[in-house]
């Protein structure tokens, strides 16, 4: 009798195929318009296999988001290992974050919006949600970059980490919407925009003594700079 070749990781292979197919379909057709049947067809498996791997479509959505956060965190850890220079870490993380959220036609941000709409009560108890835990695990790398920069006296000692974090990630995620709306999501546009947008943020974080300039009203300064970047993107200058 001929021996039968056994796949050592059949379940994991099928799971990844399903996740990949679902990600593309959700990005192309939207979450609600994508059926588990079409996901199965695109993954090359039966619909029963989809349900063997995931309890329902919501569980599949959550798994995609979880995998995306794991990917973001893995890349952030790699950035921390590749360089000890605070400025290089800051801009490398900005570039990676922008590229990730712009991938697959903005799919991660759209899937997060769907997830929150499906689980609206999470807004009332966000800190105990799985999404909060994934996000915290990822953004802690950004916090580490700034904390190490403060220890080296490269970053302002009076910096509020939560404010810097919200400005960094919130700004990038809002900004990429402008690029997507105009169809400017090629690699060059993303890299140029990311550098322009995050440069004033970086300057606002730097230790003013190291920069040899007088302290100024950081909030007004950064708002002015960001407005200039926004006008450029809108073609007003």
pLDDT of residue 219: 56
Structure tokens at 216: 């100024």
| pLDDT tens profile 43-76 | 999 999 999 999 999 889 889 889 989 999 999 9
Which 3 state secondary structure label does DSSP give 188? Answer: helix
Q: Is residue 4 part of a domain?
A: no
Note down the domain range covering 128.
58-233
Same domain (yes/no): 83, 158: yes
Q: What is the pLDDT of residue 129?
A: 76
pLDDT in tens, 161-212: 999 999 999 888 888 777 777 766 666 678 888 898 899 999 999 987 554 4
Q: Are residues 161 and 50 in the same domain?
A: no
**CA distance linking residue 194 with residue 21, whole number of Å:** 29
Give the Å distances, CA to CA, from 29 to 41, 47, 107, 185: 15, 18, 11, 19
Within a domain: 199 = yes
Query: In the prediction, which pLDDT does 99 show?
Result: 86
**Exposure of 163 by Cβ count < 10 A (0-12 exposed, 13-18 middle, 19+ buried)?**
exposed
* Residue 2 maps to a domain: no
Token reading at 214: 């007088």
pLDDT value at residue 128: 76
20 occurs within a structural domain:
yes
Question: Model pTM?
Answer: 0.74
Give the Cα separation of 18 and 35 in Å (integer): 12
- Strands (E) in the chain, as ranges, are none
* pLDDT tier, 6 (very low <50, low <70, confident <90, very high otherwise): very low
Residues 44, 93 within the same domain: no
* Average pLDDT of every residue of the chain: 81
Instruction: Based on the fold, state whether residues 126 and 223 are members of the same structural domain.
Output: yes
Q: What is the Cα–Cα distance from 4 to 178, expressed in whole angstroms? A: 54
CA 59 to chain centre: 20
Residue 3 lies in a domain: no
| Count of the separate structural domains present in the chain | 2
Beta carbons within 8 Å of 165's beta carbon, 6+ residues apart: 139, 142, 143
For 122-140, write each residue's pLDDT tens digit.
666 767 777 888 889 999 9
Q: Check whether residue 36 and residue 142 sit in a common domain.
A: no
Same domain, 50 and 101: no
* Pair (42, 69) in one structural domain: no
CATH number of the domain to which 20 belongs? 1.10.10.60
Mean pLDDT of the region 12-37: 88
**Rounded distance, CA 22 to CA 32, Å?**
12
Contact 145, 167 (CB under 8 A): no
C-alpha closest to that of 216 among 197, 194, 199, 200: 200
């Amino acid at each position: 009798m001929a021996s039968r070749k056994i796949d050592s990781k059949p379940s994991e292979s099928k799971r990844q195929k399903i996740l990949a197919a679902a990600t593309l379909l959700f990005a192309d057709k939207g979450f609600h318009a994508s059926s588990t049947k079409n996901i199965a067809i695109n993954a090359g498996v039966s619909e029963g296999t989809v349900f063997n791997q995931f309890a329902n479509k919501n569980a599949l959505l959550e798994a995609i988001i979880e995998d995306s956060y794991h990917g973001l965190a893995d890349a952030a850890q790699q950035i921390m290992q590749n360089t000890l220079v605070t400025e290089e870490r800051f801009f490398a993380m900005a570039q990676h974050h922008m590229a990730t959220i712009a991938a697959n036609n903005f799919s991660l941000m759209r899937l997060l919006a769907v997830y929150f709409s499906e689980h609206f009560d999470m807004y009332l108890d966000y800190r105990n949600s799985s999404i909060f835990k994934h996000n915290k695990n990822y953004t802690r790398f950004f916090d580490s970059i700034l904390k190490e920069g403060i220890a080296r006296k490269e970053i302002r000692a009076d910096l509020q980490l939560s404010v810097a974090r919200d400005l960094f990630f919130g700004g990038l995620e809002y900004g990429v919407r402008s690029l997507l709306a105009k169809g400017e999501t090629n690699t060059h546009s993303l890299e140029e925009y990311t550098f322009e947008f995050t440069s004033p943020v970086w300057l606002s974080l730097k230790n003013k003594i190291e920069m040899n300039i007088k302290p100024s009203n950081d909030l007004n300064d950064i708002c002015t700079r960001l407005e200039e970047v926004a006008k450029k993107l809108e073609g007003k200058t």
